[in-house]
A and B are shown apart, each in its own frame.
Chain A
Amino acid sequence: MSEWTPTPALGRATVVALVGSVGAVVAGSPALAVLAAPFVLPAVLGALGRPGTAPRLLTRLGLTRLHEGQGTTSTLEVTDLEGVEQVTRVLARTPYVVAVPPSGALAVPASPIEASVVALGARRWGQRPVGDEQVALTSAWCGYRWGPERLPAQQLTVWPQAEAYDSTAEAPQPDGLVGAHRSRRVGSGTEFAGIRPFAPGDRLRRISWPVSLRTGELQVVTTRAEQDASVLVVVDAVRDIGVSAGVDGRASSLDLTVRAASALAGHHIRRGDRVGMRVVGPGHARVPLGSGARHLHRLTGSLARVLPATAPMKNETLELGVRGGCVVYVLSTMLHPPLVTATALLSARGVSVVVIDTLGERPIEEMGGRTSATGLAWRMRMLERAAMLERLAALGCPVVPWQGPGTVDVVLRQQSRRRQLPQVRTR
């Protein structure tokens, strides 16, 4: 529990005033009296200004959940400001959280207390502890100080950037009841499929009267059914390659992965699809298939909790838990062999798998140059990876680098066409 204690400034003024005055009287020195005189008033008024209250301090975040790039405020609340002249706040620095003032420390008059508001901006997705700070209150003439009192941090959940993403491609394996994707089977949709002779059970409103008149017998228009799709987003959090510079700067591989996963999930949820997620990495988070805004909230929340592995992961067999009729997006750097194997197995089973390469451009200079030991090791690793991706593509599993909107359009259309051909699957 804090209490009002004399400040060093009050002690200094008091000591100088007293010692100077006593010295002047004892030694009969007018010079000492003149030099000590200016310290008398700060000492006396500082000592008289002791507040009699016991203020309680509390900080409050304006928002506890926000997207990267957005901002909030940290407001200090003080019970009973009587006698308090000045407020000092010193916030601990948090990675990827910027503050205004930039130092995260301010000393302002206590009235109005709104002047002590610190603005905070989140520069990267994740869980960010903010508000771990020291707060001190000072009385009039800097006589007494309350604190510094340590206030605990609060958790700020930063969702990945709500990147504008859209795709015109349909899911290759729509398997639900209703949705936005055109099915291969005929049903009660709006997309024209063909015209055939009337059969018992056909609805009268489906009869095409112009064609019936021309042919002399009743003809009906058939349409394709419209279905939703199941989409599984696999997030590779085994490694984070590169250094993240926040939302406006260079992106690490995990930045690309998480932002791409967020964009894809948001896109498919908006289209009415059922989306699930599997995180390959620490925690192995799983979000079952679901749809709707509430489910999207759950998905982005899980993405905000993704942490890269800090210890090497074992090369154990991965089971992604994919059932038939599901489109699988594997967002990965493809540097973790078990994930590559699991992807190849899924593709061989006839599941629509799209690998989205989130390694990004990594200049060799970052590794110390082409001839450095790290650079050589990196180049060898990239050669191995390129060979692995070629083998994956040969199995019919497309690999595309993440490029924002339209990244998967071409490959999804190719897969839709391929679905219409007879296939031999590996069980």
Chain B
Amino acid sequence: MACRVLVALLPVVALLVAPVRPSAPVVAIVAAGSVLWAVLPELAAGPVVLLSVMAWWALAVPDPVRPSILVAAAALLSAHVAGLLAAYAPARAAIDLRLVRTWLGRGLLAFVPAPVLFLAVVGLDGSPDPPLMWPLALAALALITLTIGLLLREQPARPSPQGRARSVDSTRS
């Protein structure tokens, strides 16, 4: 239940930490989407809400590269992790604390690129763009996309080589 509450709240928090105040309709739309996402964590509302907040930051916030953007990034990532934990089981199920601890660690690890990128952007701010920077970034993205696309292809699952060996036995051994 706590995970679902976080899913409903954190995208709105990511909006409210911005240096400019978001308009009421934007907050309402994001809040409604977040609640929908919290109720049905497997629904496509999740990416829509996250991308909406990111788009608002990119379009509506003048000079968005400030420390508050890291708070927004952390809030969006936390909402994603909370949604993921909420989707593990129905709302009536209690999530195992070991899983929560695992995902806290993973969340912190996943967050590392954000401050690195932030510092890089702040460091490069004011200097002229290298001529090959954006084409190289585009090529790197295309490579990543291709790799992920290949990995995400449907693969037929192969049968277990161990037959019907009980997992209990294997874990004991």
Contact = CB atoms under 8 A, between A and B. Distances in A.
B51 A38 contact: no
Given A12-B50, A35-B73, A81-B167, A25 B141 contact: yes
Interface in A4-45: 4, 6-9, 11-16, 18-25, 27-44
Contact of B160 (A19, A39, A42, A80): A80
Interface in B147-169: 147-148, 151-152, 155-168
A52 interface: yes
A219 B141 CA distance: 117
A78 interface: yes
A109 interface: yes
Contact of B90 (A31, A105, A111): A105
Given A77-B168, A107-B93, A108-B96, A43 B148 contact: yes
A39 B152 CA distance: 16
B93 A88 contact: yes
B73 A34 contact: yes
5 closest cross-chain pairs (CB), A and B: A105-B93, A31-B64, A80-B160, A107-B89, A37-B113
A368 to B, nearest CB: 33
A91 to B, nearest CB: 10
B84 interface: yes
Contact of A77 (B80, B99, B166): B166
Given A25-B134, A44-B148, A34 B167 contact: no
B93 A41 contact: no
A144 to B, nearest CB: 10
B69 A101 contact: no
A289 interface: no
A103 B118 CA distance: 44
Q: Is the interface of A mostly helix, strand, loop or mixed?
A: helix
Given A38-B114, A115-B96, A20 B157 contact: no
B167 to A, nearest CB: 4
A87 B117 CA distance: 35
B87 interface: yes
Interface of B is mostly: helix
A7 B118 CA distance: 29
B164 A56 contact: yes
A25 B137 contact: yes
Interface string A74-89: 0101111100001010
Contacts of A25: 134, 137-138, 141
B110 A42 contact: yes
A8 B42 contact: yes
A371 B145 CA distance: 76
Interface string B66-94: 00011011101100100110011110111
B145 A18 contact: yes
Contacts of B43: 8
B159 to A, nearest CB: 5
B156 to A, nearest CB: 8
B73 A38 contact: yes
B148 A56 contact: no
A220 to B, nearest CB: 71
B93 A79 contact: no
B170 interface: yes
Contacts of B170: 80-81
